[in-house]
Amino acid sequence: MEELNRLTVEEFKAEEKSPIVIVLDNVRSLNNVGSAFRTSDAFRIEKIYLCGITGTPPHKDIQKTALGATDSVIWEYAGSTLDAIQKLKQEGYTICSLEQVSNSVMLNEFVPNPDSKFALVFGNEVFGVEDEVIKASDYIIEIPQLGTKHSLNISVTMGIALWDFMVKMGVFKK
């Protein structure tokens, strides 16, 4: 890890975080939850909200893909995704749900304000983001796709969306 110039868990916790919070809306796969932690660590995300039926650490299936990121990334459980995003709105976050709906904005066309804080909502692997959460979101963002399948795995979606937000917000230039 020294050769890769990686932070220790203690150093990570002390570092300034990216102005992004992840919200998992009833994500059923514990492997996807673990991937969310690992990706959130990679992008130094502020916090993860685990909502509804989303599994929480400690669990061996989360650890399998998190590879220890449950120790570095702050997380909180919320019984209701809607309650979690309403709390985040009160704290000044712009809520962006990643979903395929008629009024979505394509990710490549969305330009996040670099001075804003964002909460990115990722939904259930089968049913997507809850309708009430979509209605309460400030933006619905969709990743354009060209193939025959109509969705991406949540971990892939998260990686693409976070990378795009971080680049557009200039986080890597700081």
Per-residue pLDDT at 3: 59
Q: Where are the domains of the chain?
A: 9-173
Per-residue pLDDT at 7: 79
The CA distance from 129 to 6, in Å, is 34
Question: Which of 101, 109, 96 is CA-nearest to residue 162?
Answer: 96
The CA distance from 96 to 41, in Å, is 20
Which regions in the chain score pLDDT beneath 70?
Answer: 1-5, 12, 174
Per-residue pLDDT at 78: 98
Per-residue pLDDT at 174: 59
**pTM score over 0.85:** yes
Per-residue pLDDT at 87: 98
Is 2.60.260.20 the CATH number for 9-173?
Answer: no
Per-residue pLDDT at 4: 63
The CA distance from 127 to 99, in Å, is 10
Per-residue pLDDT at 2: 56
What are the E-state strand segments in 3-134? 18-25, 45-51, 75-78, 93-98, 105-106, 117-122
Tokens of 114: 């670099």
